Structure formats: C-alpha cells, structure tokens
Chain A
Amino acid sequence: MRPGDPSEASRLTHFRADLHIHTALSPCGSEEMTPPAIVAVALARGLDLIAICDHNSAGNVKAVQQAAAGRLGVLAGMEISTAEEVHLVGLFPDVAAAEQVSVIIREALFEADDHYYSFFGPQPLLDSDGTVIGTETRTLALATSLQLGDAVRLIKSAGGLAVAAHVDRHSFSVYSQLGFFPMNAAFDAIEISRHLPRQAPILDEYLALGLPITSSSDSHYLEDIGSGCTDLLCVEPTFDELSLAFAGVGGRSVCRA
C-alpha cells in the first residue's frame, strides 16, 4: 500500500512525540541525561517517539537508540546553531545520515580548551548503559560558521527535515535573530516551546506561515521530558511517517498535544 492510499485512513493512529531532547553530551544538558534514563522517563511518560537533538552533534544518538531497543521510536536529530545564532533542529532518516552531517558540523566549530569546559561543562559521549566512553572536543555550545540557508541545505542533502527551533523564544530563534520569518529558508516545520501559553495570540502568526507546527520539551533535565509534546497522527512512529505527516499526506498531521 502506498502513502496516500484512501484505505490507509483507517490505519491512522495518534502518537505522542517529543522531538527535541538533549543528552548529557550537550554542555548545558544535565549529567543525568543518559541513554537508559532518557528512555525510562520517555516510556514512563507514555511517549511513542522521541528525537535526540544535542547541540551541534549526533554523537549520542546511536546509544539512545540501542538503549530503547525498539520499545519506543528514537529519531536521529541534531540542534544546529547557525552563524546567525539561529537554532535549527535537523531530524534525519537514520543515524548514518545524522553522523554524516555531524562530521561537517564538527569542522564548523572550534576545538574546546579548559576554559571552555569550565564555563560550559563536560561533553561526554555515552554508551547505551550510560557509561562514558569518550569526550567530544569541539565547541558544541557555540555557533557554527554555517549560514542558515547552508545549514538547511546540509540537512536536506542528508535526507533530513529542517525545523525552526523554539520560534517563540527571545533568544536563538529565527524571530529573535532575523526579525522576520525567513520564508526562503525552506523549513519543513516550526517548533514552539513548552513555555508558550496555549491561547497565545502569536500562534495566529505562526499558523499563517502555513508550516506544520510541532511542540517539544527541549529537555535538558529528565523531569522536562514530555513537558512539550506533538500529537502525531500517522501509521507508525517513524521518520518516514513523520515526513508524510509534515507534508499532510493521506490525512496525516502534526499538532500540539
């Protein structure tokens, strides 16, 4: 059966997705954000799908996928900081695609020194048990040298989806950095933060963009996982189905949960 087949509508199901979660690899992420702990909390909160989006790295994605062991969907993601200091969530079809982008992003950062680690914190690479197996030595907390348009193109070249992160925030968002929403940037969706009130008047402006709207927790601490959620109406909680939901194919959709 192909996507868009009318008989498919009966198979659509609501899934609960939190598509922006950091691990301890993000310097601002809590040390408690280990693969097994993230998976345990996500399962306890009834999530069907999460995306691991550390700052400028996909280094811990595979470990979280292994920790999940098929019990919930774990998408490979990354939160890229562009040269404009706009945060951009890239969601990828698989770990290999995310890691391919991660290599290029690494080159667009600096090598960290002791002062950097003492200010921003450690950047541990973890295995599926949460054991530290290495350290990322690039400056993940800082902006890359990639312009926004180039970063979006990079994500797409790896088959990924580009989401404008936390558009309602007053820092590191497209609105704070660029004043107007950059319609030429070819975003696939925009993300609103868990802090935005449900009836906020600004939501009308976001809806007028005509892009799918996700809601995510942007968790840096375990307690925040699932505090912002997307209701994903599709056939199964996978990257391909999320892509189809963003495109609105066959009755699929995303909205704030």
Chain B
Amino acid sequence: MRLEELAKALDLTELTPPGAGSEDGDITRGYASDLLSDVLAHAPAGAVLVTLQVHLNVIAVASHAGLRAVIFSCGRTPDDDSIAKAEEEGLRLFRSAADTFDVVGQLHDLGIRGGTAR
C-alpha cells in the first residue's frame, strides 16, 4: 500500500512536506518500538516505524535502518529540527492521535506485516 493511502486510511497528519520522500512504491512491512537501539538492530528496511519516541535520534536511526516513514503515536510531535532533518533524509513523518497499539492494529488490518530483516 502506498504511503498516501496509508495516511488517508489511518487519518494521519503529515509532518514533513507532502511527497518529501524520494522513494515511491508500496509499504509492506512495519515495526513498532520506542527503544532506538532495538529499532537499529531489528527494524526491516523499507518499513514504517510506529513510535512515541520523539527525540531527534529517531530520524538518525530510521535513516540508518533504511526505513521509509515514521508514525508518531499518541499525538506526539517531534521538534522542527527533527522534521527538517527527516526531510533532508527523504524520510516521511506522520502523526496519529491514536496510541501505538491501535496504529499497529490498523496497519495490520491493511496488510502491513512485521518481521525482522537483519
């Protein structure tokens, strides 16, 4: 499923400028964790990350792990520096008012699956 479709289905707010991500194509995998050392070690490349962690390092870790997008749950919003950095890295950021459990549930309903890549 394309990111735009996911964002619409989950009623997400896009934090980076629309279409900032250079890559296109379907998202098929997801990962949920607030421990960035765990994200670094286990999130599959190309995945969408769901987290409530809003530290700038989320962007560095997501970029390093080759993730496509981050959904911040519980209405959390990273600061402007993080959003600017994500845009530079071609990473798209979204916000959901729902908590992590519900965001992941909705993604799963849409066919997005987990699974560790590395």
B-binding residues in A (CB < 8 A)? 84, 147-149, 170, 175-180, 182, 184
B6 interfacial contact with A, CB 8 Å: no
Q: How far is the CB of B84 from chain A (nearest CB, A)?
A: 13
| Cβ of B91 under 8 Å from chain A | no
Judge whether B3 is part of the interface by a CB distance below 8 angstroms: no
Do A180 and B61 touch across chains, with their CB atoms under 8 A apart? yes
Q: Is B37 an interface residue (CB 8 A)?
A: yes
18 more A-B residue pairs beyond the given contacts A179-B64, A180-B40, with a C-beta to C-beta distance below 8 A = A84-B53, A148-B55, A149-B55, A176-B37, A177-B53, A178-B55, A178-B57, A179-B36, A179-B37, A179-B57, A179-B61, A180-B36, A180-B57, A180-B60, A180-B61, A182-B55, A182-B56, A182-B57
Q: Indicate the size class of the contact surface on chain B.
A: 10 to 19
> Which chain A residue shows the least CB distance to B52?
A83
Contact with A along B40-75 (1 / 0, CB 8 A): 100000000000011111001100100000000000
- Across the interface, which residues of A come within 8 angstroms of B54, CB to CB? 147
Q: Which of B28-45 contact A (CB under 8 A)?
A: 35-37, 39-40
- 27 interchain pairs, CB-CB under 8 A: A84-B53, A84-B55, A147-B54, A147-B55, A148-B55, A149-B55, A176-B35, A176-B37, A177-B35, A177-B53, A178-B37, A178-B57, A179-B37, A179-B39, A179-B40, A179-B57, A179-B60, A179-B61, A179-B64, A180-B36, A180-B40, A180-B57, A180-B60, A180-B61, A180-B64, A182-B55, A184-B56
Docked pose: A15 CA to B57 CA in angstroms: 36
A147 proximity list for chain B (CB < 8 A): 54-55
Which residues of chain B are within 8 angstroms of A148 by Cβ–Cβ distance? 55
From A84, A148, A170, A176, name the one whose CB has the most chain B CB atoms within 10 angstroms: A84
Q: Which residues of B contact A180 (CB under 8 A)?
A: 36, 40, 57, 60-61, 64
**Max count, chain B CB within 10 A of own CB: residue among A147, A170, A177, A178:** A178
User: Which of A147, A148, A179, A182: most chain B Cβ within 10 A?
Assistant: A179
Residue of B nearest to A82 (CB): B55
Bitwise, B8-38 to A at CB < 8 A (1) or not (0) is 0000000000000000000000000001110
Tell me the bound Cα distance from A84 to B57 in angstroms. 11
Chain B residues with CB under 8 Å of A179's CB are 36-37, 39-40, 57, 60-61, 64
Contacting residue for B36 out of A149, A170, A177, A184, CB 8 A: A177
Q: How far is the CA of A178 from the CA of B54 in the complex (A)?
A: 10
Contact A177 B37 (CB under 8 A): yes
Q: How far in angstroms is the closest Cβ of chain B from A85? A: 8
For the complex, what is the distance from the CA of A44 to the CA of B29, rounded to whole Å?
58
B39, B53, B54, B57 — most chain A CB neighbours (10 Å): B57
